[in-house]
Structure 1
Protein backbone atom coordinates (compact mmCIF):
# COMPACT_ATOMS: atom_id res chain seq x y z
CA UNK A 1 0.00 0.00 0.00
CA UNK A 2 1.30 3.44 -0.91
CA UNK A 3 0.90 6.17 1.68
CA UNK A 4 1.38 9.94 1.39
CA UNK A 5 5.07 9.81 2.33
CA UNK A 6 5.81 7.11 -0.25
CA UNK A 7 4.02 9.24 -2.87
CA UNK A 8 6.19 12.21 -1.86
CA UNK A 9 9.31 10.06 -2.19
CA UNK A 10 8.22 8.85 -5.63
CA UNK A 11 7.53 12.42 -6.73
CA UNK A 12 10.98 13.56 -5.59
CA UNK A 13 12.71 10.62 -7.31
CA UNK A 14 10.83 11.25 -10.57
CA UNK A 15 12.19 14.79 -10.61
CA UNK A 16 15.76 13.80 -9.79
CA UNK A 17 16.59 10.12 -9.36
CA UNK A 18 20.13 10.88 -8.20
CA UNK A 19 19.07 13.09 -5.30
CA UNK A 20 20.93 12.12 -2.13
CA UNK A 21 18.93 10.01 0.30
CA UNK A 22 19.62 12.56 3.04
CA UNK A 23 17.94 15.28 0.96
CA UNK A 24 14.88 13.10 0.30
CA UNK A 25 14.68 12.42 4.04
CA UNK A 26 14.87 16.15 4.80
CA UNK A 27 12.09 16.92 2.31
CA UNK A 28 9.70 14.29 3.66
CA UNK A 29 10.61 14.68 7.33
CA UNK A 30 11.94 11.19 7.99
CA UNK A 31 15.28 9.71 8.99
CA UNK A 32 17.50 8.73 6.04
CA UNK A 33 17.35 5.06 7.11
CA UNK A 34 13.53 5.14 7.04
CA UNK A 35 13.56 6.69 3.55
CA UNK A 36 16.04 4.09 2.31
CA UNK A 37 13.84 1.33 3.72
CA UNK A 38 10.77 2.78 1.94
CA UNK A 39 12.67 3.07 -1.35
CA UNK A 40 13.85 -0.53 -1.11
CA UNK A 41 10.27 -1.63 -0.37
CA UNK A 42 8.97 0.33 -3.40
CA UNK A 43 11.65 -1.33 -5.54
CA UNK A 44 10.80 -4.79 -4.20
CA UNK A 45 7.09 -4.21 -4.89
CA UNK A 46 7.94 -3.23 -8.47
CA UNK A 47 6.57 0.30 -8.06
CA UNK A 48 10.04 1.66 -8.72
CA UNK A 49 10.97 -0.22 -11.87
CA UNK A 50 14.48 1.15 -12.32
CA UNK A 51 16.52 4.30 -12.75
CA UNK A 52 17.54 5.94 -16.02
CA UNK A 53 19.68 8.81 -17.14
CA UNK A 54 17.97 11.09 -19.67
CA UNK A 55 20.49 11.97 -22.37
CA UNK A 56 20.24 15.03 -24.59
CA UNK A 57 19.49 13.58 -28.05
CA UNK A 58 20.53 16.77 -29.84
CA UNK A 59 24.01 16.67 -28.29
CA UNK A 60 24.34 13.04 -29.40
CA UNK A 61 23.03 13.68 -32.92
CA UNK A 62 19.90 11.57 -32.38
CA UNK A 63 17.32 14.35 -32.49
CA UNK A 64 15.13 13.05 -35.33
CA UNK A 65 11.98 11.50 -33.84
CA UNK A 66 9.65 9.39 -35.96
CA UNK A 67 6.46 7.55 -35.19
CA UNK A 68 5.62 4.49 -37.25
CA UNK A 69 2.14 3.08 -37.61
CA UNK A 70 2.57 -0.56 -38.53
CA UNK A 71 -0.14 -2.80 -39.95
CA UNK A 72 0.22 -6.57 -39.88
CA UNK A 73 -0.88 -8.89 -42.66
CA UNK A 74 -1.70 -11.63 -40.15
CA UNK A 75 -2.43 -11.44 -36.41
CA UNK A 76 -0.24 -14.40 -35.49
CA UNK A 77 2.84 -12.31 -36.42
CA UNK A 78 2.19 -9.94 -33.52
CA UNK A 79 4.68 -11.40 -31.03
CA UNK A 80 7.54 -11.92 -33.47
CA UNK A 81 7.12 -8.44 -34.96
CA UNK A 82 6.96 -6.86 -31.49
CA UNK A 83 10.17 -8.64 -30.49
CA UNK A 84 11.97 -7.64 -33.70
CA UNK A 85 10.89 -4.00 -33.37
CA UNK A 86 11.92 -3.92 -29.71
CA UNK A 87 15.38 -5.27 -30.54
CA UNK A 88 16.25 -2.41 -32.92
CA UNK A 89 18.68 0.10 -31.35
CA UNK A 90 16.75 3.12 -32.71
CA UNK A 91 13.49 1.93 -31.14
CA UNK A 92 12.42 3.77 -28.02
CA UNK A 93 8.83 2.58 -27.69
CA UNK A 94 6.67 -0.19 -29.13
CA UNK A 95 2.94 -0.08 -28.41
CA UNK A 96 0.36 -2.64 -29.51
CA UNK A 97 -2.68 -0.49 -30.30
CA UNK A 98 -6.35 -0.66 -31.25
CA UNK A 99 -7.66 0.36 -34.63
CA UNK A 100 -6.53 -0.52 -38.14
CA UNK A 101 -2.84 -0.55 -37.24
CA UNK A 102 -1.22 -3.06 -34.90
CA UNK A 103 1.73 -1.06 -33.58
CA UNK A 104 2.75 2.49 -32.86
CA UNK A 105 6.53 2.66 -32.70
CA UNK A 106 8.74 5.57 -31.66
CA UNK A 107 12.18 5.69 -33.26
CA UNK A 108 15.00 8.13 -32.67
CA UNK A 109 17.52 8.56 -35.49
CA UNK A 110 20.37 10.78 -36.60
CA UNK A 111 18.93 11.78 -39.98
CA UNK A 112 16.16 11.17 -42.47
CA UNK A 113 18.59 9.04 -44.48
CA UNK A 114 19.36 6.87 -41.45
CA UNK A 115 15.65 6.63 -40.58
CA UNK A 116 14.85 5.57 -44.15
CA UNK A 117 17.59 2.94 -44.03
CA UNK A 118 16.25 1.55 -40.72
CA UNK A 119 12.67 1.39 -41.98
CA UNK A 120 13.60 -0.20 -45.31
CA UNK A 121 16.30 -2.58 -44.11
CA UNK A 122 15.04 -3.62 -40.67
CA UNK A 123 11.30 -3.00 -40.48
CA UNK A 124 9.38 -3.00 -43.77
CA UNK A 125 10.63 -6.46 -44.76
CA UNK A 126 9.81 -8.19 -41.48
CA UNK A 127 7.56 -11.21 -42.00
CA UNK A 128 4.02 -10.27 -41.03
CA UNK A 129 4.22 -6.55 -41.78
CA UNK A 130 1.77 -5.34 -44.41
CA UNK A 131 2.28 -1.56 -44.21
CA UNK A 132 4.44 1.03 -42.48
CA UNK A 133 3.36 4.68 -42.24
CA UNK A 134 6.12 6.97 -41.00
CA UNK A 135 5.49 10.33 -39.34
CA UNK A 136 8.45 12.59 -38.56
CA UNK A 137 8.11 14.94 -35.59
CA UNK A 138 8.90 18.53 -36.59
CA UNK A 139 9.22 19.64 -32.96
CA UNK A 140 8.87 18.05 -29.55
CA UNK A 141 7.11 20.17 -26.95
CA UNK A 142 6.98 17.55 -24.20
CA UNK A 143 8.62 14.19 -23.76
CA UNK A 144 8.49 12.45 -20.42
CA UNK A 145 8.24 9.08 -18.77
CA UNK A 146 6.88 10.61 -15.55
CA UNK A 147 3.63 9.27 -14.12
CA UNK A 148 1.30 11.82 -12.50
CA UNK A 149 1.07 10.96 -8.83
CA UNK A 150 -1.38 13.64 -7.68
CA UNK A 151 -4.42 11.53 -8.65
CA UNK A 152 -3.23 8.43 -6.75
CA UNK A 153 -5.13 7.99 -3.51
CA UNK A 154 -3.05 6.41 -0.75
Structure 2
Protein backbone atom coordinates (compact mmCIF):
# COMPACT_ATOMS: atom_id res chain seq x y z
CA UNK A 1 0.00 0.00 0.00
CA UNK A 2 1.26 3.46 -0.85
CA UNK A 3 1.37 6.28 1.66
CA UNK A 4 -0.24 9.66 1.01
CA UNK A 5 3.02 11.31 -0.05
CA UNK A 6 3.66 8.69 -2.74
CA UNK A 7 0.05 9.06 -3.90
CA UNK A 8 0.47 12.85 -4.08
CA UNK A 9 3.66 12.43 -6.11
CA UNK A 10 1.87 10.10 -8.53
CA UNK A 11 -1.05 12.49 -8.84
CA UNK A 12 1.31 15.38 -9.62
CA UNK A 13 3.29 13.37 -12.18
CA UNK A 14 0.09 12.14 -13.80
CA UNK A 15 -0.96 15.73 -14.49
CA UNK A 16 2.45 16.91 -15.69
CA UNK A 17 5.15 14.25 -16.12
CA UNK A 18 7.80 16.83 -17.01
CA UNK A 19 7.38 18.86 -13.83
CA UNK A 20 10.77 19.63 -12.27
CA UNK A 21 11.66 17.42 -9.32
CA UNK A 22 12.21 20.54 -7.20
CA UNK A 23 8.60 21.61 -7.83
CA UNK A 24 7.26 18.17 -6.89
CA UNK A 25 9.33 18.36 -3.70
CA UNK A 26 7.91 21.80 -2.90
CA UNK A 27 4.33 20.60 -3.41
CA UNK A 28 4.71 17.57 -1.14
CA UNK A 29 6.97 19.23 1.44
CA UNK A 30 10.02 17.01 1.00
CA UNK A 31 13.63 17.37 -0.09
CA UNK A 32 14.18 16.98 -3.87
CA UNK A 33 16.55 14.04 -3.29
CA UNK A 34 13.91 12.22 -1.21
CA UNK A 35 11.28 12.81 -3.91
CA UNK A 36 13.63 11.51 -6.62
CA UNK A 37 14.29 8.41 -4.52
CA UNK A 38 10.53 7.83 -4.12
CA UNK A 39 9.92 8.27 -7.85
CA UNK A 40 12.64 5.75 -8.69
CA UNK A 41 11.15 3.33 -6.16
CA UNK A 42 7.66 3.80 -7.66
CA UNK A 43 9.11 3.08 -11.11
CA UNK A 44 10.91 -0.03 -9.87
CA UNK A 45 7.75 -1.29 -8.12
CA UNK A 46 5.74 -0.89 -11.34
CA UNK A 47 3.45 1.94 -10.22
CA UNK A 48 4.90 4.09 -13.02
CA UNK A 49 4.96 2.29 -16.37
CA UNK A 50 6.67 5.06 -18.29
CA UNK A 51 6.40 8.60 -19.53
CA UNK A 52 4.76 9.52 -22.84
CA UNK A 53 4.33 12.67 -24.85
CA UNK A 54 0.77 13.34 -26.00
CA UNK A 55 0.90 14.47 -29.60
CA UNK A 56 -1.82 16.54 -31.24
CA UNK A 57 -3.44 14.07 -33.70
CA UNK A 58 -4.68 16.85 -35.96
CA UNK A 59 -1.10 18.02 -36.59
CA UNK A 60 -0.44 14.54 -38.00
CA UNK A 61 -3.67 14.32 -40.02
CA UNK A 62 -5.06 11.67 -37.67
CA UNK A 63 -8.21 13.41 -36.48
CA UNK A 64 -10.73 10.63 -37.20
CA UNK A 65 -11.29 8.33 -34.22
CA UNK A 66 -13.39 5.19 -34.52
CA UNK A 67 -14.31 2.32 -32.25
CA UNK A 68 -14.55 -1.04 -33.99
CA UNK A 69 -16.08 -4.12 -32.42
CA UNK A 70 -14.89 -7.38 -33.90
CA UNK A 71 -16.57 -10.74 -33.61
CA UNK A 72 -14.22 -13.63 -34.36
CA UNK A 73 -15.04 -17.12 -35.62
CA UNK A 74 -13.86 -18.80 -32.42
CA UNK A 75 -12.20 -18.00 -29.11
CA UNK A 76 -9.15 -19.98 -30.29
CA UNK A 77 -8.32 -17.23 -32.79
CA UNK A 78 -7.14 -14.99 -29.94
CA UNK A 79 -3.33 -14.91 -29.63
CA UNK A 80 -2.37 -14.73 -33.31
CA UNK A 81 -5.20 -12.36 -34.09
CA UNK A 82 -4.31 -10.05 -31.20
CA UNK A 83 -0.65 -10.09 -32.31
CA UNK A 84 -1.75 -8.94 -35.77
CA UNK A 85 -3.90 -6.16 -34.30
CA UNK A 86 -1.12 -5.07 -31.96
CA UNK A 87 1.23 -4.57 -34.91
CA UNK A 88 -1.09 -2.06 -36.62
CA UNK A 89 -0.03 1.54 -35.91
CA UNK A 90 -3.57 2.86 -36.41
CA UNK A 91 -4.77 0.83 -33.43
CA UNK A 92 -4.44 2.77 -30.17
CA UNK A 93 -6.28 0.36 -27.88
CA UNK A 94 -7.36 -3.29 -28.01
CA UNK A 95 -9.79 -4.70 -25.47
CA UNK A 96 -11.26 -8.20 -25.11
CA UNK A 97 -14.85 -7.53 -24.06
CA UNK A 98 -17.89 -9.39 -22.79
CA UNK A 99 -20.94 -9.85 -24.96
CA UNK A 100 -21.41 -11.09 -28.50
CA UNK A 101 -18.41 -9.24 -29.89
CA UNK A 102 -14.99 -10.34 -28.74
CA UNK A 103 -12.80 -7.29 -29.29
CA UNK A 104 -13.10 -3.52 -29.11
CA UNK A 105 -10.53 -1.41 -30.93
CA UNK A 106 -9.88 2.30 -30.78
CA UNK A 107 -8.31 3.42 -34.03
CA UNK A 108 -7.11 6.77 -35.31
CA UNK A 109 -6.86 7.50 -39.04
CA UNK A 110 -6.87 10.43 -41.45
CA UNK A 111 -10.41 10.35 -42.90
CA UNK A 112 -13.39 8.04 -43.62
CA UNK A 113 -11.79 6.58 -46.75
CA UNK A 114 -8.69 5.68 -44.72
CA UNK A 115 -10.94 4.01 -42.13
CA UNK A 116 -12.64 1.93 -44.82
CA UNK A 117 -9.27 0.94 -46.27
CA UNK A 118 -7.97 0.06 -42.80
CA UNK A 119 -10.92 -2.26 -42.14
CA UNK A 120 -10.89 -3.90 -45.58
CA UNK A 121 -7.13 -4.15 -46.06
CA UNK A 122 -5.89 -4.81 -42.53
CA UNK A 123 -8.67 -6.06 -40.24
CA UNK A 124 -10.73 -8.34 -42.47
CA UNK A 125 -7.73 -10.16 -44.01
CA UNK A 126 -6.57 -11.14 -40.51
CA UNK A 127 -8.64 -14.29 -41.03
CA UNK A 128 -10.39 -14.65 -37.69
CA UNK A 129 -13.00 -11.95 -38.33
CA UNK A 130 -16.63 -12.99 -38.56
CA UNK A 131 -18.06 -9.46 -38.44
CA UNK A 132 -17.28 -5.88 -37.46
CA UNK A 133 -19.25 -2.85 -36.36
CA UNK A 134 -17.77 0.62 -36.49
CA UNK A 135 -18.72 3.80 -34.65
CA UNK A 136 -17.07 7.04 -35.76
CA UNK A 137 -16.46 9.62 -33.04
CA UNK A 138 -18.14 12.94 -33.88
CA UNK A 139 -16.91 14.89 -30.83
CA UNK A 140 -14.61 14.09 -27.93
CA UNK A 141 -15.34 15.82 -24.64
CA UNK A 142 -12.81 14.02 -22.47
CA UNK A 143 -9.89 11.78 -23.28
CA UNK A 144 -7.50 10.86 -20.51
CA UNK A 145 -5.19 8.07 -19.46
CA UNK A 146 -5.11 9.31 -15.86
CA UNK A 147 -6.02 6.89 -13.07
CA UNK A 148 -8.17 8.34 -10.25
CA UNK A 149 -6.02 8.57 -7.12
CA UNK A 150 -7.71 8.91 -3.74
CA UNK A 151 -5.66 10.58 -1.02
CA UNK A 152 -6.89 10.41 2.58
CA UNK A 153 -6.17 14.02 3.52
CA UNK A 154 -8.12 16.89 1.99
CA UNK A 155 -5.53 19.43 0.93
CA UNK A 156 -7.00 20.01 -2.52
CA UNK A 157 -4.70 17.64 -4.45
Cα root mean square deviation, aligned: 1.4
Please show how residues 70-149 of structure 1 align to structure 2 within 5 Å.
70-149=70-149
Aligned to 1:30: 30
Report how many aligned residue pairs link the two structures: 153
Aligned to 2:55: 55
Unmatched runs of 5 consecutive residues or more in structure 1: none
Report deviation, 1:144. 0.6
Cα 1:34–1:151 change in 2 (3 A) is: closer
1:39 aligns with 2:58: no
Report deviation, 1:78. 1.0
Q: Secondary structure at the match of 2:7?
A: helix
Q: Secondary structure at the match of 2:76?
A: helix
Unmatched runs of 5 consecutive residues or more in structure 2: none
TM-score by length of structure 1 reads: 0.96
Which stretches of structure 1, 4 residues or more, deviate above 3 A after TM superposition? Answer: none
Report deviation, 1:151. 6.8
